[in-house]
Amino acid sequence: MGKQKVITVNINSSKIDEVTGYNEIELTKINKYLDDGWIVISKFSTVSNANNLYCVNLTFILEKEE
């Protein structure tokens, strides 16, 4: 096993594009780690606030061989 990192991202998806009907989000910090050789070994999501179902937390567990 190599080094590991845990990254949590909070996304508010309530801002839906009226033309396309969806909102596309690029996770630039996660992409940078992937470009640097980190691998996603696990991921999970949770609703961040039960009163606002448009917010979600995405948690990624990353690993990189030393």
pLDDT of residue 50: 61
| pLDDT score for 54 | 74
The string of pLDDT tens digits covering residues 35-47 is 999 999 999 998 7
Both tokens assigned to 55: 């917010």
Beta bridge partners of 45: 58
For 3-49, write each residue's pLDDT tens digit: 999 999 888 777 777 787 777 788 999 999 999 999 999 999 987 66
**Long-range contacts of residues 34-39, Cβ cutoff 8 Å, at least 24 apart:** 36/64, 37/64, 37/65, 38/5, 38/62, 38/63, 38/64, 39/63, 39/64
Q: Are 7 and 30 in contact (CB under 8 A)?
A: yes
